[in-house]
Amino acid sequence: MVPAIGRSIGSGFQAANRSWAGIGLYALGSLIIGGIALGSILVTNVPEELLQPQTVEDTGAPADDDAAITQLEQQVETQQQVALDWVGRAWPLLLLALVVGVAGGLWLNAGQIGFVAQMIRTQHADAKTFVQAAGARVGALFLAWLLSIGAAIGFAIVLGLVGVVLALIGAGPAWLAVVLGIVVAIAVLAGLIWLAVRLVFWFIAIVADGAGPVAGLKRSFAATKGRWWPVFGLGLVLGLISFAVTQVFQLLVGLGNLLPGAAGITLAVAFGVVGFAINLYVGFAVLGAYLRYYEDTKAPAAGFNPATGPAPHA
């Protein structure tokens, strides 16, 4: 079957319609992991100074911009010092929260991908499928995550060097520095978008195909070879669907907050819970669409080869 956007989206939502066991397990896991991470932070007694917004005290005197700026700078310096002191004494629990958040998130991602992949391939998956995939592939996803973090750090260093070069050039004509800055910004943005599309099947390949981090990376590049624009189009449509759903429920929560008293609170909480469930459902549908597209790239009709990508068009 040749991969197609419409077929992929339809299959994704069909898979999500049968994935309530996986959605429920993902929701439960998110609440547990989020609770542990948040609890680890709260027990450190977060200083109130870090939770307060920066404001300028109204003394009733005529406005003085310099005095206001000085006051804000002092508040920033105070918050920075308080934050350093807090991190210095609370770092073990903050590190625990980070580890739980990252490891737990990757465990959930592995389980979700394995669950939806099984649903796409066989039309059936259960909680056991989720747990088995999560346990078997979370390590590989963690290595891929570390690889992506290393690449991001390297990219940031390169950008820093480019910034230094632009600063040196800035000693010349101002228009030249502006033009070069715009060109670099456009090139960086275009490169990031291109790379995001080429890597969209990376974690999917690691879990669904049991590939290693590097092999999964190669499979994602192979699956998108010669299909960059269709995959970009698929992501654009899915992104618009997700954005529309999110905005609708944010609007409903906002309307609930406008109502006075307990009625407003009840409606806001109810819409928030329903929105959380619907967003999870859409997330499973989006993943299902990507998985359907990825599976179709491997079909004989698509001429897919994990090592070289799709066969040349006749």
* Segment 95-109, tens digit of pLDDT: 999 999 999 999 999
Token pair recorded at residue 154 = 């390297």
Is 60 exceeded by the pLDDT of residue 311?
A: no
Q: How far apart are CA 184 and CA 173, in angstroms?
A: 17
The pLDDT mean for the chain works out to 86
What does the pLDDT look like over 208-256, one tens digit per residue?
A: 999 999 999 999 999 999 999 999 999 999 999 999 988 887 787 777 7
Task: Concatenate the DSSP letters of all residues of 77-95 into one string.
Answer: HHHHHHHHHHHHHHHHHHH
Token pair recorded at residue 197 = 């599309």
What is the mean predicted confidence (pLDDT) over 119-125? 94
Task: Assess if residue 140 is contained within a domain.
Answer: yes
Q: Residue 307's pLDDT band (boundaries 50, 70, 90)?
A: very low
Task: Concatenate the DSSP letters of all residues of 104-133 into one string.
Answer: HHHHHHHHHHHHHHHHHHHS---HHHHHHH
Is 70 exceeded by the pLDDT of residue 314?
A: no
Is 70 exceeded by the pLDDT of residue 91?
A: yes
Task: Assess if residue 104 is contained within a domain.
Answer: yes
pTM as predicted: 0.85
Alpha carbon distances (Å) from 102 to 23, 88, 153 = 19, 21, 17
Q: What's the sign of the alpha-carbon dihedral 304, 228, 245, 133?
A: positive
Three-point CA angle 211, 217, 221, nearest 5°: 120
Task: Assess if residue 128 is contained within a domain.
Answer: yes
What does the pLDDT look like over 19-50, one tens digit per residue?
A: 999 999 999 999 999 999 999 998 988 888 77
Task: Assess if residue 60 is contained within a domain.
Answer: no
Task: Assess if residue 231 is contained within a domain.
Answer: yes
What domain range includes position 122? 5-53+65-310
Is 80 exceeded by the pLDDT of residue 174?
A: no
Task: Assess if residue 181 is contained within a domain.
Answer: yes
Number of domains in the chain: 1
Task: Assess if residue 59 is contained within a domain.
Answer: no
Task: Assess if residue 173 is contained within a domain.
Answer: yes
Maximum distance among all Cα pairs of the chain, rounded to whole angstroms: 79
